[in-house]
Chains A and B, each alone.
Chain A
Amino acid sequence: MIHIFLKICGMALVMASAVLTGRQIASGYRKRLLELDALRRCMMILDNEIAYSSSALDECFEAASARCIDKEISEMFADMSRLVSQAHGERASDIWDRCVNSHEGSLHLTDTDIAELYNFGKSLGYLNAQMQTDSIRLYMSVLETQISDAAARVDNQCRAAKTLSIACGAFVCIILI
């Protein structure tokens, strides 16, 4: 009797963890979409700050950080602003690489998204206003493509993640029986 009770408890735990894992994975897909959108908004702010205010790069990143809807990306932009303003003789692209590197572990972006993020940094700091805004707009168009692609797939991905997790949990339960 106790033996059966323990098996039922074990199966319940396996199923619960499978459901939670599925939800966690699905939540990652949704967070990726939110982070891409937050990045797009930050790029719009950078673009405006450069095109209409000609603010210095650290001020642009500070403004973007202040109005960012995602905490992690906001912190990444704030770090960039702080390090650029300290002016230790580093290139902006190197500073950006360091910032992305220190935050990428906490983001839910894919390897392709992160590669594009690094790529964006290569154009920072040495271009005239027109070219700088063009490069930001180019990255914004990349982000928009990524967002529309992710938005189209996110529901299916979430459903698949949840279903597969439950299926895996059920499979383990069957083995337990």
Chain B
Amino acid sequence: MDNHRISEITKVLPQNVRSTILRQQISYDRLEEVHLRTGMPLILRYDNSEILMEQCIVTPEDMREALELISNHSLYAYEDDIRQGFITIPGGHRVGLAGKIVMQDGKIKTIKHITFLNIRVAHQIRGCAASVYSFIHNSTHIENTLIISPPGCGKTTMLRDLIRQISNGNSYYEGQTVGVVDERSEIAACYNGRPQNDLGIRTDVLDCCPKAEGMVMLVRSMSPRVIAVDEIATPDDVEAVRYVMNCGCSIIATAHAYNADELRQKAQFEQLLAMNVFKRIVTLGRSSGAGSIEEEVVL
């Protein structure tokens, strides 16, 4: 058991939940999620299955304690994060929050009576993008690449490792400056502005920034050779991708789709694919576990 890493999770849990988990001899590498729901038993997502801990019922007091510990006793400093529905804690783990939404002028103002917490344990799989890296690299530059898969198949993990490899380079390819727009803090998992995941030595991160605006900002300010974004979906995102390409940067993006054919049916991607913007499409699936490379297409 990796004591240091498991303590990143346990130290934000209330006392009785913490002691319950520590009694279970949990392995950090296999722990995926910790679910706390007020009045309900503690549930762990562990090693692709669920562990129901009926002896540990989460009380409102536990929830208050958890929120205090998650926010490092400074819940007031996380109002923007709460509005987005998650808080990133040291180690890059994300805590999803749910409760009663308070609206103001048609926008979410905050979440009150937070009753549900989901701690998603961050895992980096170093080297998982090794074959994709050589696939998307031509002799001079990185080709515009789209990584597609259904949810939970490892797109973000693949993208993260790809960014790290492009940034650091290897004995065949020299490292390149990478700009990352991390709208939901999933790629870099920044805490106090510092990436908790290793994204390489030549990577600049715009954390919690809308993708479309972030891509334009990076091109103007950080002169990246490659721009990486997770889950492009809106017409604004697509427009920003076209802008980036016209500025001479390569782009690596991910999108939700089962395969390239399904992607073509989505209106916002139809034009991009018709214009042959992306030269490489990598499809991920679960045929040999999450993150399996199902298809690599050269366009």
A: residues with CB less than 8 A from B are 50, 54-58, 60, 84, 87-89, 91-92, 95, 124-129, 131-133
Contacts and interface: CB of A to CB of B under 8 A. Distances in A.
A126 B72 contact: no
B11 A126 contact: no
- Interface size classification for chain B: 20 to 34
Contacts, number: 63
Given A55-B77, A128-B79, A129-B79, A87 B68 contact: no
Interface in B60-79: 64-65, 67-69, 71-77, 79
Interface of B: 10-13, 15, 18, 64-65, 67-69, 71-77, 79, 110
A56 B65 contact: no
A57 B15 contact: no
A54 B77 contact: yes
Contacts of A124: 73
Given A87-B11, A89-B11, A126-B64, A57 B79 contact: no
Given A126-B67, A128-B76, A129-B77, 14 more contacts: A55-B77, A56-B73, A57-B73, A87-B69, A88-B11, A89-B10, A89-B11, A91-B65, A91-B73, A125-B71, A126-B64, A126-B73, A129-B76, A133-B76
A57 B70 CA distance: 13
The secondary structure that dominates the B interface is: helix
Nearest to A61: B73
Contact of B68 (A50, A54, A125): A125
Contacts of A58: 72-73
A89 B72 contact: no
Contacts of A131: 76
Contact of A89 (B64, B69, B79): B69
Contacts of A87: 11, 69, 72
Top 9 A-B pairs, shortest CB-CB distance: A125-B73, A129-B76, A92-B73, A126-B68, A57-B73, A56-B74, A125-B68, A57-B74, A54-B77
Nearest to B66: A126
A127 B73 contact: no
Nearest to A133: B76
A127 B75 contact: yes
B72 A56 contact: yes
Contacts of B18: 89
A130 B202 CA distance: 40
